[in-house]
Amino acid sequence: MQDTNLISNVPCPDKYVGYADLPNQIFRHCVMNGFDFNLLVVGESGLGKSTFINSVFATEVYVNAKYAEKIPPISSQTMEVRSSTITILEKGIPLRLTMIDTPGFGDCVNNSECGEKILKCIRDRNEEYLNWEASTPRAPMRDTRVHCVLYFVSPTGHRLRQIDIQMLMKLHDKANVIPVIARADSLASEDLKMFRQRILDDIRFNAIKIYDFPAAVLQNSDEIDSFKDLTKHIPFAIVSSNCSEEINNKIVRCRKYPWGVCEIENPMHSDFVLLKNLILRTCATYLVETTHNIMYETYRSKHLASSQFGSVVGGSSNPLEVVEMENARQQARLEEMRKEFEEKLSKHRRENEEKLM
């Protein structure tokens, strides 16, 4: 291997060449194509999921959205997965936001199918992206994979319900899961603190993985003061509202009660601003990268491995069917070898008998 001679004192061009404009080219390309961010919200009805999303993006996302499919009423006692896409423009930057909602989750007598429908939604979106990768030539493609899952926990003050534990165990290796305590203003400060600790205990006991915000990014953030002791705020306790009131000559979103006002953007009242800044201003691209490099690659590897193995034995991609077919093939081969051995043995006996006669 030849030694590499490092050049020291690299000369600078005498005049402007143009390669210094590469970051600007990337910026213009990104602005022209826009950005995709897909958010899945999971939680039972009445926890303020729609209100939270409207508050985060400072617009009526759900009111203006038109769903592609007709959704049956929730009174039918079935959970549905529905999505809506809206393009938001801020300072010339277009964001195609896809909201995936789960109306009816946890509201049925039998909630066993809720998890499968949500997992199927994630699988279908991963498969759509995988098919696009395998196509030639590739057409322009929007990233429809789920980048973040906000799991809304009911403020019971006790522990995670069994349906919550089961759902989180199914989701934690399929997407970036961020647990959220909804309607946190219904709990007293001490009750909220104990409830938060019980949730973390349940998460650790069941080996549930939640999204780990990158520490290096938080340390380099312009809002580093807001991110100190971040672990104390997980799961995030939020309050959301579509109503605005004038407080101290300032219009703020809040929830008004006979005994006082709860401001959703006041860090003393809610983790709303902290969570919003983490998702959008600080870690949005990292959520997308984690989805692509870890969650999607895990799905892709398993899918391709099962497909290749299945194509060798009968063309099936079901692991159980593949094992059964392989066992049957081995049994048939052993039976064939046994018959062949018996035929040779009987032939050898006949030859010996003929010699004796």
- Summarize pLDDT for 221-239 with one digit per residue, the tens: 555 455 556 777 888 888 8
Count the Cβ atoms, other than its own, within 10 Å of residue 154.
18
Instruction: Specify the higher pLDDT residue, 143 or 357.
Output: 143
Instruction: Please compute the mean of the pLDDT values over residues 293-317 and round it to a whole number.
Output: 71
319: in domain: no
pLDDT tens for each residue of 102-120: 888 877 766 777 788 889 9
Q: Both tokens of residue 180?
A: 């959220």
pLDDT at 175 over 80: yes
pTM, entire model = 0.74
Q: Is the separation of the CB atoms in 275 and 267 below 8 Å? A: no
- What pLDDT score was predicted for residue 75? 46
Q: 95-109, 120-134, 189-203: lowest mean pLDDT where?
A: 95-109
pLDDT tens figures, 41-51:
998 888 888 88
Structure tokens at 143: 């990233």
Q: Is the pLDDT of residue 346 over 50?
A: yes
Domain count, the chain: 1
Residue 275 included in any domain: no
Q: Could you report the per-residue pLDDT of 260-277, keeping only the tens digit for each?
A: 777 777 778 888 888 888
Residue 198 domain boundaries: 31-215+284-305
Average pLDDT, the chain: 78
Report the candidate in 199, 207, 264 with the shortest Cα–Cα distance to residue 235: 199
Burial class (CB in 10 A: 0-12, 13-18, 19+), 165: middle
The mean-pLDDT minimum among 129-133, 178-182, 257-261 falls in 257-261
Check pLDDT > 50 for residue 313. no
**Residue appearing with tokens 């699988």:** 123
Q: Is residue 15 part of a domain?
A: no
Residue 41 lies in a domain: yes
Beta strands 93-101 and 82-90 are antiparallel
Q: Please indicate, yes or no, if residue 276 is contained in any of the structural domains.
A: no
Q: Is residue 9 part of a domain?
A: no
Confidence of residue 179 (pLDDT cuts 50, 70, 90): very high
Residue 196's domain is classified under what CATH number? Answer: 3.40.50.300
Rounded-to-integer distance, Cα 26 and Cα 285, Å: 15
The angle, 0 to 180 degrees and rounded to 10, between the axes of the packed helices 319-356 and 297-312 is 30
Q: What percent of the chain stands above pLDDT 90?
A: 10
